[in-house]
Structure 1
Amino acid sequence: MELFRNEPLVQPLAARLRATCLDEYVGQQHLLAPGKPLREALEQGALHSMIFWGPPGVGKTTLARLLAEVSDAHFETISAVLSGVKEIRQAVDLARQQAAQYGRRTILFVDEVHRFNKSQQDAFLPFVEDGTLIFIGATTENPSFELNNALLSRARVYVLKSLDEAALRRLAERALSEEKGLGKRGLSLPEESLQLLLAAADGDGRRLLNLLENAADLAEDGQAISADLLQSLLGDGVRRFDKGGEAFYDQISALHKSVRGSDPDATLYWYARMLDGGCDPLYIARRVVRMASEDIGNADPRALTLCLNAWDVQERLGSPEGELAVAQALVYLACAPKSNAVYSAFKAAMRDAAEQGSLEVPLHLRNAPTRLMKELGYGGEYRYAHDEPEAYAAGEDYFPEQLQPRRYYQPVPRGLELKIRDKLEHLATLDSQSPRQRRKP
């Protein structure tokens, strides 16, 4: 009896169903519909270097293979996770051999290209420039941040989107009907099961096929894949949320802008999405404190206290009690009157501090703890505001002599800042009536 048999390796369902022509390819109609630039490149074999940017499982590798197939180009692939400059040089040597022996162009497909460091990315440049190879990179990260400008300038970026429901349905139908898929098994997928599968796939075609294959392994030939069977496989899966990646920053941006836009419902949705995706609640709590100062400010100073309290609850109690406190703070921020007056004023003051140089503090504002300092005029002619009418030294000037007074802070006519604005306007009137005219901003 043989202990080991050389049985043929069975490919995963996702690999068996990889599209071999445009008719089998699903999704990305914004790039592949008739008349679109990438469709014309495929049909005409007009190859150029490009970057495919999109989430996992949307067909980046398959699209690169289709480009090679329709243009009769040699296809080489490397992964930035496992490769380095050595593998890049080997790919270049193969490309030169293909050109010399067969007169064929070579497409070098680099998966996870963002994982190459800047010097490794530079290794492609001379060979892309002289036409030795056609470079196609795939990335889930924003190329603007992760790829060299020199490489970006030599490649066109195509944005691939998550697969919509129609594309995922078509993929599931192909998997169940085609012989190279699960067609021989005679399995069916009731609508309830399909809906579970579509939700779990979350726009990822590879995930859909992997889940379907796992369910098929547990189902009987000729039977329906039940919703209960799928649910037992799915468990409590989380949605797409790449911590520190593009999805992370997109979602925190959506959360912040929903608060700024005074929409408590959208605010709660994006908060729930981030928690559902595995975001650290303490990170959100810290950002909520920032929102309180940046977008609410003095229109409602209570917002900052409430947010600090919510952060404290999250640290003390953890989940789920802390998450509810942060939700309360977020809803309060969304409903509160808005003002970015302090935020804008602070940025303007920081800009002046950086640009105006080391301007001297006026003598009357300097501290005078010693006799010598007093003799030099430090603190001389300083007016103690509490001794003045209304505790205000009307007409006094607090800016450096070389700097024209500025009006950074412009309170908005909302919330408490409405009263602050009235107060500042009253003080400006006192300045105008003072015999010591203050320099006007």
Structure 2
Amino acid sequence: MRPRTLDEMVGQHRLLDPGSALRRAVESGRIHSMVLWGPPGCGKTTLALMLARYADAEFRSVSAVLSGLPDVRRELADAAERFSAGRRTVLFVDEVHRFNKAQQDAFLPHIERGTIVFVGATTENPSFELNSALLSRCRVHVLDAVSADEIAVALRAALTDSERGLGAPGVQVSDEALMEISGAADGDVRRGLTLLEIAAELAQDEGGVVTPATLAQVLADRSRRFDKGGEQFYDQISALHKSVRSSNPDAALYWLARMLDGGCDRAYLARRMTRMAVEDIGLADPRALPMALDAWDTFERLGSPEGELALAQLVLYLASTAKSNAAYVAYGRAKADVREHGTQEVPLHLRNAPTKLMKQLGYARGYRYDHDMEDGIAVEQTGFPDAMGERVYYEPVARGMEIKLRDKLDALRAARASAAAQKPK
């Protein structure tokens, strides 16, 4: 059921609707080297085949999973011969991101000479997986996952096509069942067709009708797309973190459920949420950090699936409570001062003096014990190296517990500044 014309393709309207730049180029035969980036089953291979068909070019294919550099060189040599004879070659490289940098470089001179029209297909972000020399010679086209409605169009076409599809056996599938299969395909047309074919085979024992019982059997092991180490993984953890940061517990819970459903390492999620507790909540709610550690420990003790509820409870709390990155920012400022000012000496009054010599050298001289002060703080006493003077790194926000901390620190800093101004120069 692979489409044979652009009009038969489902999805990818942004790229392939009539009048679009890519469609005009394909239909006119003025094809260019490109990288097709998109999820499985969205039409990357089909589009490459159509490029060759519309341009009347030879279509050749290699897989980065199954082929090595000798296979690539052999295809390039054959393409060079065809080029000398006046015929172009579309060389389709599936899973191109699996080739290393040296293997990717092998295509460069042939793309430049026009020996091949290079079409690379990848499910990973080309910015990270392909070298810059190859990217500079290709145009990147982003393909989207195909919607359930569009997949249903492809499935209906398969049900009526007696030559390549299921039209001859006369399988009967209700619209509701067809949409359920389309949804289970999860954006992958190829997967949708496979599920439909399985349902049709099982339906032979039911008089050719796909019953609810048959459909339940077919979709029993349905799963969602999730790549534990790829672009999709990092996009989802980013969505989870940013949903927590923006105080959207419902969105945060959704992304957590998505990652758990995809088989993400639960310990990784617990670690990332502990990071959220210290980076995005901080002292606005000091309970967040021990709660994160408790949830992590609870999961370690209970395991899956019971322990996942502790992670869900944690993400709801983190997203719902007050937020502050003041501690995160303050730490960054302190590190910047350490880099800028180098190794500063500890002021004498802050040093311990356990020996007579140290006392003679002035260690601890002038130090005032804060607990002996009326308010419990010696405001005239600096805690910074003399060459730096007092600094302000931590600026509490007006949210949660930091409201009280801000009021207290504002008063203390004002008192320290006043005491410093009264010191003799």
Secondary structure of the structure 2 residue equivalent to 1:223: coil
- On the 8 A contact 2:350/2:364 being kept in 1, the answer is yes
Secondary structure of the structure 1 residue equivalent to 2:61: strand
- On the 8 A contact 1:394/1:436 being kept in 2, the answer is no
Q: Distance in 2 between matches of 1:122 and 1:352?
A: 44
Indicate yes or no: 2:229 matched with 1:253: no
- On the 8 A contact 1:395/1:437 being kept in 2, the answer is no
- On the 8 A contact 2:260/2:266 being kept in 1, the answer is yes
Trace 1:156-305 onto structure 2 (pairs within 5 A): 156-178=139-161, 179-220=163-204, 223-305=208-290
Structure 2 match to 1:13: none
Indicate yes or no: 2:130 matched with 1:125: no
Letter in 2 for 1:167: E
- On the 8 A contact 1:431/1:437 being kept in 2, the answer is no
Indicate yes or no: 2:66 matched with 1:51: no
Structure 2 match to 1:14: none
Secondary structure of the structure 2 residue equivalent to 1:396: coil
Q: Distance in 2 between matches of 1:171 and 1:85?
A: 37
Structure 2 match to 1:9: none
CA distances 1:41-82 after superposition (whole Å, capped 9, x unpaired): 211222221111111010101101111110112211111111
The more displaced of 420-429 and 353-362 is: 353-362
Secondary structure of the structure 2 residue equivalent to 1:76: strand
The verdict on how the C-alpha distance between 1:132 and 1:376 changes in structure 2, with shifts beyond 3 A counting, is farther
Letter in 2 for 1:235: A
The more displaced of 364-373 and 121-130 is: 364-373
- On the 8 A contact 2:149/2:182 being kept in 1, the answer is no
Q: Which runs of 5+ in 1 are unaligned?
A: 1-16
Structure 2 match to 1:72: 56
Secondary structure of the structure 1 residue equivalent to 2:18: coil
The more displaced of 395-404 and 112-121 is: 395-404
Indicate yes or no: 2:96 matched with 1:113: yes
- On the 8 A contact 1:365/1:398 being kept in 2, the answer is yes
Q: Return the offset for 1:355.
A: 4.1
Trace 1:240-389 onto structure 2 (pairs within 5 A): 240-389=225-374
The verdict on how the C-alpha distance between 1:192 and 1:400 changes in structure 2, with shifts beyond 3 A counting, is same
Structure 2 match to 1:143: 126
Letter in 2 for 1:80: A
- On the 8 A contact 1:396/1:436 being kept in 2, the answer is no
The more displaced of 339-348 and 380-389 is: 380-389
Structure 2 match to 1:397: 382
When normalised by structure 2's length, the TM-score is 0.94
The more displaced of 134-143 and 33-42 is: 33-42
Trace 1:407-422 onto structure 2 (pairs within 5 A): 407-422=392-407
Q: Return the offset for 1:405.
A: 4.0
Q: Return the offset for 1:224.
A: 2.0
The verdict on how the C-alpha distance between 1:361 and 1:44 changes in structure 2, with shifts beyond 3 A counting, is farther
Identity of aligned residues (%): 58
Q: Distance in 2 between matches of 1:188 and 1:352?
A: 73
Letter in 2 for 1:33: D
Q: Return the offset for 1:110.
A: 0.8
Q: Return the offset for 1:280.
A: 2.1
Q: Distance in 2 between matches of 1:113 and 1:20?
A: 24
Indicate yes or no: 2:69 matched with 1:85: yes
Q: Distance in 1 between matches of 2:57 and 2:396?
A: 64
Q: Distance in 2 between matches of 1:23 and 1:346?
A: 57
Letter in 2 for 1:359: Q
Letter in 2 for 1:398: G
Q: Return the offset for 1:36.
A: 1.8
Q: Return the offset for 1:255.
A: 1.3
Q: Return the offset for 1:398.
A: 2.5
Q: Distance in 2 between matches of 1:140 and 1:372?
A: 69
Secondary structure of the structure 2 residue equivalent to 1:78: strand
- On the 8 A contact 1:395/1:436 being kept in 2, the answer is no
CA distances 1:11-56 after superposition (whole Å, capped 9, x unpaired): xxxxxx1111111111100101123221122112222211111110
- On the 8 A contact 2:324/2:399 being kept in 1, the answer is yes
The verdict on how the C-alpha distance between 1:71 and 1:409 changes in structure 2, with shifts beyond 3 A counting, is same
Letter in 2 for 1:206: R
Structure 2 match to 1:3: none
CA distances 1:359-395 after superposition (whole Å, capped 9, x unpaired): 3333433444444444444444333332333222213
